[in-house]
Structure 1
């Protein structure tokens, strides 16, 4: 038997009461799911993008607003209440019978498209550190040498992939991304990348100065900056960021898992080591 649950929106109109009056209430179906199991409880992420359905078989079905069933999480028997916080990254699970409450972190592996993106390290390295970055973001400039240290410590297993995510608040972020991708076409992305972050006060003519200093073919550089292919690549990165729920820079993914730890070489090394162990265990199976 299939069970269904309906998520509804309630619209309220406030009126000033001089005499007896009625508040208007309207109900409108936002979305509806047909479930393969009996639901015990339902919770919505604060941003409304995810619906968590606690089922009677010890699992949580996670539905995305735009793609249906996203994942199934096993929580075990006895859980009969669920609450959601932190944009869907934290669940509070309650077992009424045992009077226990458990808070758990939730992470979803994102699909990061690294095809044709600038990278450092071995092409076939098993651990990919993909960073969504903005060239006018000071935090992005500070994370770059940290990632470099991680790569130097793991030359056989790690590669760094750069993904463009220029923020609207930074007026030169998009031109900087276009310039860097134009330099990428001439094999000078990382040199250009480093010099942009080393420039304290970016100006519209900064990119031409950097390109000239690197000895780039300037006619090709200027044409590539304006080329539709360059803009298309940047927009593809931004669509990928949206699908991965990136909302700020820098955002770092380790083999598709959003990194939430401290931005230090030591902290990131721990995650790399965990990923190496996980991959080794997978190979043994």
Structure 2
């Protein structure tokens, strides 16, 4: 009778191998958690974009979800100071019935995102709408106040048109520019760099910038960008909160103009 072969003995699993298996499991679980977080974040962002909402930044540095006007609720109205073509930074016809007043921060990424939208409003509406810029530099943006002061100094040294040139340059280039380079941005539009730096260092426009921010806060502005479409004839207004896409801004403006 053939002898039966002995069964192979089970090989003991070493502690080091068990530790390795545990570590691999932890790695897989960790990757799964990270992927879940990333996918969830992307889903949330896509969801927000599909709903038309866009974030802005409040005074505490938190992202806020803008709520576009849908017609299902009364439009929000902020009691802002009436725009003044002689006192405000005014762009467009001095006789325009409607004015888009922007409370903004040159370093705010959402304000920079909103800049092309306001440019499109200028192009599409022409003399029907004038633009007004009011400073609202947030304290946690280190370049915001120096940029605001620089823009005021540019207005002093070069006039109102140069202010708007500086306004455009700041929104296009401040993200990649250090504080020390702000005067250089002004020189790129023909402003004397040394004269500008002297003006900035003097701090002569701090009170003006702070005054505009105080006025906005008292009216209810709490985040940037906040825009207000204002009727110069009736004094009525409607608020556009956040960096809404042009299509939604146009809807708000057109509805407001129809009264």
Fold shared per TM-score above 0.5: yes
Asked whether the equivalents of residues 99 and 129 of structure 2 are also in contact (C-alpha less than 8 Å), the reply is: yes
Deviations 1:172-217 (A, max 9, x none): 1100100011112212112112222222323122211112211113
Q: How does 1:10-89 map to 2 (within 5 A)?
A: none
Asked whether the equivalents of residues 262 and 268 of structure 1 are also in contact (C-alpha less than 8 Å), the reply is: no
- Are 1:221 and 2:192 matched, yes or no? no
Asked whether the equivalents of residues 114 and 161 of structure 1 are also in contact (C-alpha less than 8 Å), the reply is: yes
Residue in structure 2 matching 1:190, options 164, 169, 175: 164
Which residue is 2:253 aligned to? 272
Which residue is 1:20 aligned to? none
In the alignment, the residues of structure 1 paired with residue 169 and residue 227 of structure 2 have an alpha-carbon distance, to the nearest angstrom, of: 21
In the alignment, the residues of structure 2 paired with residue 172 and residue 114 of structure 1 have an alpha-carbon distance, to the nearest angstrom, of: 26
Q: How does 1:46-195 map to 2 (within 5 A)?
A: 104-105=73-74, 107-115=76-84, 116-185=87-156, 186-187=158-159, 188-195=162-169
Greater Cα radius of gyration, structure 1 or 2: 2
In structure 1, the gaps of 5 or more residues are 1-88, 90-102, 279-285
Task: Assess, with a 3 A threshold, how the Cα gap between structure 1 residues 232 and 114 changes in structure 2: closer, same or farther.
Answer: farther
Deviations 1:239-269 (A, max 9, x none): 1111111111101111132124871222212
- SS of 1:221 mapped into structure 2: helix
**Structure 1 or 2: larger helix share?**
2
Deviations 1:88-110 (A, max 9, x none): x9xxxxxxxxxxxxx95463341
In structure 2, the gaps of 5 or more residues are 1-66, 231-236
Higher relative contact order (CA 8 A, sep 6+): 2
After TM superposition, the score normalised by the length of structure 1 is 0.57
In the alignment, the residues of structure 2 paired with residue 272 and residue 226 of structure 1 have an alpha-carbon distance, to the nearest angstrom, of: 40
**Structure 1 or 2: larger strand share?**
1
Asked whether the equivalents of residues 118 and 184 of structure 1 are also in contact (C-alpha less than 8 Å), the reply is: no
Q: State the superposition RMSD in angstroms.
A: 2.3
Asked whether the equivalents of residues 136 and 170 of structure 1 are also in contact (C-alpha less than 8 Å), the reply is: yes
